[in-house]
């Protein structure tokens, strides 16, 4: 009996140990806290990258396309405009910058100097548009170069047109000076004849 009792007790312990082993096998292993943290960090990082990539894609698709660079054509006179080749670009540019019609500017130059860049009046007016040195300085140019003289003349005439609001008076003031015309309140006969000559020539020019 003592032997049988000992065997039964051993058998009982063996069965108990098998049950415990089976229970431990079925019970899921607990992950270490650091492992869970690493996994969560990896998932979060992946999600952030995915969101950033999608935002970049949407921004690129919604961005307005850059407009194609436009070719700006330099101003040019009509081929029929009777201006020497050396001065054509100067007259075209001056007209475009000031808004003075090219035909009016060219006609003024013919009336003033017969299109002679070296013209010099007895009073000291110079160049194609016969500007006094002080007047050229007033409009921001102080050089005898033909292109600068044309631009200065266009700026001066533009100012007179704006001041008097009348082509006859503006041209008369160009010829006699704005103070004289403002004092008289009208264009004297000589200056009126000058203005009409300029306007008549401008009317037939194709510039």
Let me know if residue 103 belongs to a domain. Answer: yes
49 & 118 share domain: no
Let me know if residue 198 belongs to a domain. Answer: yes
131 & 194 share domain: yes
55 & 104 share domain: no
pLDDT at 128: 97
Residue 64: pLDDT over 80: no
53 & 92 share domain: no
102 & 189 share domain: yes
Kindly report the backbone phi and psi dihedral angles of residue 126, in degrees, each rounded to the nearest multiple of 5, phi listed first.
-130, 155
Segment 39-49 mean pLDDT:
63
15 & 102 share domain: no
Q: How many domains does the chain have?
A: 2
Let me know if residue 70 belongs to a domain. Answer: no
Residue 195: pLDDT over 80: yes
The CATH number of the domain where 155 resides is what?
A: 1.10.530.10
pLDDT at 75: 86
Q: Report pLDDT digits (tens) over 84-132.
A: 999 999 999 999 999 999 999 999 999 999 999 999 999 999 999 999 9
Choose one of 31, 62, 93: the last residue of a domain.
62
What CA–CA distance (Å, rounded) separates 96 from 107?
16
Let me know if residue 72 belongs to a domain. Answer: no
| Position 23 confidence tier, pLDDT thresholds 50, 70, 90 | low
* pTM of the predicted structure, to 2 decimals: 0.65
Catalytic residue among 111, 112, 138, 199: 112
pLDDT at 37: 60
- Specify whether the CB–CB gap between 196 and 170 falls below 8 A: no
50 & 98 share domain: no
Residue 111 is among the residues annotated as catalytic for this protein: no
106 & 193 share domain: yes
102 & 198 share domain: yes
Which is more confident, 51 or 103?
103
110 & 195 share domain: yes
Which is more confident, 11 or 135?
135
16 & 103 share domain: no
Q: Which residue has the tokens 């500007």?
A: 131
Let me know if residue 136 belongs to a domain. Answer: yes
* Mean of per-residue pLDDT scores for the chain: 82
Let me know if residue 44 belongs to a domain. Answer: yes
Let me know if residue 146 belongs to a domain. Answer: yes
- Structural domain boundaries, residue 104: 85-204
47 & 103 share domain: no
**Range list of H helices, the chain:** 2-26, 33-62, 85-98, 102-113, 133-138, 146-164, 167-176, 178-184, 189-204
Helix (H, G, I), strand (E, B) or coil at 195: helix
Residue 8: pLDDT over 70: no
Let me know if residue 78 belongs to a domain. Answer: no
């Amino acid at each position: 009996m003592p032997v049988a009792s000992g065997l039964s007790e051993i058998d009982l312990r063996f069965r108990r140990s098998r049950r415990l082993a089976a229970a431990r096998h079925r019970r899921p292993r607990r992950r270490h806290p650091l492992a869970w943290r690493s996994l969560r960090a990896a998932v979060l990082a992946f999600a952030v990258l995915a969101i950033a990539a999608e935002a970049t894609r949407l921004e690129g698709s919604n961005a307005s396309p850059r407009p194609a660079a436009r070719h700006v054509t330099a101003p040019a006179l009509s081929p029929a405009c009777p201006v020497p080749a050396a001065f054509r670009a100067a007259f075209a540019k001056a007209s475009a910058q000031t808004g003075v019609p090219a035909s009016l500017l060219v006609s003024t130059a013919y009336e003033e100097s017969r299109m002679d860049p070296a013209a010099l009046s007895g009073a000291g007016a110079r160049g194609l548009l016969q500007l006094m040195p002080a007047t050229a300085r007033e409009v921001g140019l102080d050089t005898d170069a033909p292109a600068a003289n044309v631009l200065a003349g266009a700026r001066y005439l533009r100012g007179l047109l704006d001041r008097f609001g009348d082509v006859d008076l503006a041209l008369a003031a160009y010829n006699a000076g704005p103070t004289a015309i403002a004092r008289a309140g009208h264009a004297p006969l000589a200056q009126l004849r000058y203005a009409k000559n300029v306007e008549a020539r401008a009317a037939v020019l194709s510039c």
